[in-house]
Structure 1
């Protein structure tokens, strides 16, 4: 059994908030995409929903309070076409990766492994979205790092 490290609960709560926002953002993203890219957006949303559900269970089992989901989230720019939807998908995955990077730093053992898996998944998905959108470079040196 792992003893939670200081800050693990707040890092998980912050990651949960990021997952809420990611799920919400994939709505405006998905409506601007078609075919295989729309299916990729559905898959991404489903992954974020699973992660959200896992975090809710984890925080609840630990006796921690859950951050509230919002009715809506502000998008960083208007999503009006396929190109802006793809840019938003990259942005969503990069932002969510940042919260998971913080969770990696604040956790240990199995919790760290779970956070690292989420960070890697977000980084890989961001790379796929960049490739689809024709954005270069395709990867970032340190996924999740904002500076």
Structure 2
């Protein structure tokens, strides 16, 4: 029973399905929860989309190449999630275009400094929009994606 559960197709379905669930969750947070994503949030989504496509192909094509590519996609989004978590926790600086630390006031005119109009649509990467049990969405993405990578690697090793 366990051997059948841990078959290559089931492992691929779990890994790619996990990425699909992460994407559905991200879109629900964005469109239902009205939480706009930052630039790094978008970057974390792209490997999940790739993993979903790789999963579809891996179910039809035998061999280890596609499960290994799925693992690479999962590890990529996990790495971006760790990087994003580090920025949120101020462990290291983030891109100036996405954090509150960039630029300074030197390029602003007096009118700009006195303006009360705040920029719209700007979501900073160093601000945590939501967290559960002390972990941000980026942290949860990293943890889940490392798990998906393990599933992909188990699928690559599976002979069935």
Shorter-normalised TM range? 0.3 to 0.5
Scaled by the length of structure 2, what TM-score is found? 0.42
- Structure number with greater Rg is 2
Scaled by the length of structure 1, what TM-score is found? 0.45
The answer to which structure, 1 or 2, has the higher relative contact order (CA under 8 A, 6+ apart) is: 2
